């Protein structure tokens, strides 16, 4: 046997002992095409049904081919006895944060709100009287942030509520103090219902370069979940606030909560927002209430299809959309593993108006996962923040065989807790939503690749 024959024999034996990696998942694109998708590397290989059957036949016989060589190169083929748990542990060790390192703060300057949105997880969960943040407490928050910011190039600070502009004095007090402490280090934003925006507030926001996320769930007929405390509609008060922000030149985006009342209109909402002169929108998946109500979430598969249509519409209109584009498609197309879907897993500090600090603002009303604010707080020395690093898909063996593990990021810890009473576990609703989004991305990618091939052939 010569060298060439010996080498060929080795390849045949190697192929005969190879199998598709357990991280490779099969998707039917149409009647004649399949996609092999690696959930860890996010690589995609499209094959006709005929080619796929040939690959399987060649593998069983230990015969090589162009397609098999490509699959081997991409690590889609692995030896029999491949230890998937060991591989996942190695990926987790290389990607997961070893210690918390915050670069984002949510400051609840008050838990009071002049709205009573039916689905609100803050206002509807509070049992004690409303609280506003004092200057003394704000000074403690400022001290912590100045120390935390020393460790990172920039630090984002978001004012939240309640309605933060019901305590606008403290908002601007904190902004001015942080600017004085470290000019250019801090980036500011605010989530507001817009009803308390005045010309003076809008001008101050522009002066301090504060980005605003204005809450709006669509046009008047579908924005009915958001009412004032007396039950009156809020839509036109939000539009008035938006007009003042635009007039002052404030960088403004829309924060839209998706419910059963508006999810079927997601694509139209994109067009509506664009007509308002806004180019940025973030869709918030409804944080579910424990008991079924009129604000219960839509069917996850239907929701995925409507939000995907909205994502495509936003692309067409050259708008920035956060939920599908930034958090899913961005990772899918760049083939980057999406480790954490929420900054609460090691990057976020939330400060409450009652003097507590924690990794997640949604837990504020319950008092869970919070500790008292202290001037010398060091996040890296607090066990609470390490606990939140233990969550996510790479720490959960139940997620190991899921095709969507690479675009998921683990979902919303609070949402999962509300439904299950536990943190960091697999939860069916979010899993179904993520897997449906993955299918849509894979099909969309195939269409784009096919279109590129046709265009290239036409040019040649």
Q: What is the mean pLDDT of residues 134-163?
A: 96
Q: What is the mean pLDDT of residues 220-226?
A: 87
Q: Is the pLDDT of residue 370 over 70?
A: yes
pLDDT tens per residue, range 246-299: 999 999 999 999 988 899 999 999 999 999 999 999 999 876 655 555 556 789
pLDDT tens per residue, range 296-322: 678 999 999 999 999 999 999 999 999
**Quick one: pLDDT at residue 189?**
98
pLDDT tens per residue, range 411-438: 888 888 888 888 888 888 889 999 999 9
Number of CB atoms found within 10 A of residue 93's CB:
10
Q: Is the pLDDT of residue 407 over 70?
A: yes
- Pairing assessment for the beta strands 18-20 and 77-79 based on DSSP bridges: antiparallel
**Quick one: pLDDT at residue 291?**
55
Three-class secondary structure of residue 2 per DSSP: coil
* Token output for 199: 């010309």
Higher pLDDT pick, 369 / 429: 369
> The domain 104-390 belongs to what CATH superfamily?
Aldolase class I (3.20.20.70)
**Quick one: pLDDT at residue 124?**
65
**Quick one: pLDDT at residue 183?**
83
Q: Is the pLDDT of residue 154 over 90?
A: yes
Q: Is the pLDDT of residue 14 over 70?
A: no
Asked whether the beta carbons of 376 and 398 are under 8 A apart, the reply is no
* Token output for 359: 């990794």
**Quick one: pLDDT at residue 15?**
66
Question: pLDDT tier at 44 (50, 70, 90 boundaries)?
Answer: very high
- Using CA atoms, how far residue 274 sits from 221, 224, 277, 349, in Å, is 18, 21, 5, 32
Greatest mean pLDDT among 57-66, 164-173, 254-263, 359-368 lies in 164-173
Lowest mean pLDDT among 188-202, 216-230, 326-340, 352-366: 216-230
Q: Which residues contact 160 (CB under 8 A, 6 or more apart)?
A: 106, 107, 108, 109, 190, 191, 350, 361
**Quick one: pLDDT at residue 395?**
85
Higher pLDDT pick, 290 / 118: 118
**Quick one: pLDDT at residue 6?**
57
**Quick one: pLDDT at residue 172?**
98
**Quick one: pLDDT at residue 391?**
83
- Using CA atoms, how far residue 87 sits from 20, 83, 92, in Å, is 15, 7, 9
Backbone Cα Rg of the chain: 25
**Quick one: pLDDT at residue 18?**
82
Asked whether the beta carbons of 263 and 298 are under 8 A apart, the reply is yes
Break the chain into its structural domains and give their ranges.
3-82, 104-390
Q: Is the pLDDT of residue 240 over 60?
A: yes
Whole-prediction pTM = 0.92
């Amino acid at each position: 046997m010569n060298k060439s024959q010996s080498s060929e024999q080795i390849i045949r034996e190697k192929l005969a002992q190879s199998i598709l990696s357990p991280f490779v998942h099969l998707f039917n694109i149409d009647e004649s095409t399949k996609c092999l998708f690696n959930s860890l590397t996010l690589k995609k290989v499209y094959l006709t049904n005929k080619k796929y059957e040939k690959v399987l036949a060649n593998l069983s016989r230990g015969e090589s081919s162009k397609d098999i060589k490509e699959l081997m190169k991409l690590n889609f083929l692995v030896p029999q006895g491949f230890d998937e748990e060991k591989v996942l542990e190695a990926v987790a060790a290389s990607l997961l944060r070893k210690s918390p390192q915050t670069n984002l703060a949510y400051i609840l300057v008050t838990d009071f709100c002049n709205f009573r949105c039916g689905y609100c997880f803050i206002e509807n969960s509070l049992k004690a009287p409303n609280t506003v943040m004092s200057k003394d407490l704000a000074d403690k928050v400022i001290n912590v942030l100045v120390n935390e910011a020393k460790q990172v190039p920039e630090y984002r600070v978001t004012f939240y509520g309640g309605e933060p502009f019901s305590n606008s004095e403290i908002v601007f007090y904190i902004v001015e103090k942080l600017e004085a402490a470290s000019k250019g280090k801090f980036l500011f934003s605010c989530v507001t219902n817009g009803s308390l925006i005045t010309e003076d507030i809008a001008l101050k926001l522009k002066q301090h370069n504060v980005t605003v996320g204005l809450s709006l769930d669509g046009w008047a007929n579908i924005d009915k979940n958001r009412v004032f405390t007396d039950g009156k509609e809020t839509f036109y008060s939000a539009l008035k606030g938006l007009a003042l922000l635009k007039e002052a030149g404030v960088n403004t985006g829309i924060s839209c909560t998706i419910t059963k009342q508006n999810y079927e209109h997601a694509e139209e909402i994109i067009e509506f927002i664009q007509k308002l002169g806004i180019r940025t929108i973030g869709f918030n998946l409804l944080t579910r209430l424990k008991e079924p109500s009129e604000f219960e979430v839509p069917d996850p598969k239907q929701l995925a299809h409507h939000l995907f249509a909205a994502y495509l519409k936003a692309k067409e209109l050259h708008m920035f959309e956060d939920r599908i584009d930034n958090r899913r498609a961005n990772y899918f197309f760049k083939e980057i593993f999406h480790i954490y879907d929420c900054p609460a897993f090691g990057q976020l500090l939330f400060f409450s108006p009652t003097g507590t600090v924690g990794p997640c603002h949604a837990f504020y009303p319950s008092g869970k996962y919070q500790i008292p604010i202290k001037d010398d707080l060091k996040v890296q020395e607090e066990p609470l923040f390490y606990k939140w690093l233990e969550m996510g898909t790479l720490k959960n063996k139940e997620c190991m065989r899921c095709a969507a593990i690479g675009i998921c990021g683990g979902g919303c810890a609070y949402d999962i807790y509300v439904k299950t009473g536990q943190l960091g576990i697999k939860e069916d609703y979010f899993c179904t939503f993520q897997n449906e989004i993955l299918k849509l991305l894979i099909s969309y990618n195939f269409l784009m690749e096919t279109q590129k091939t046709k265009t290239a052939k036409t040019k040649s």
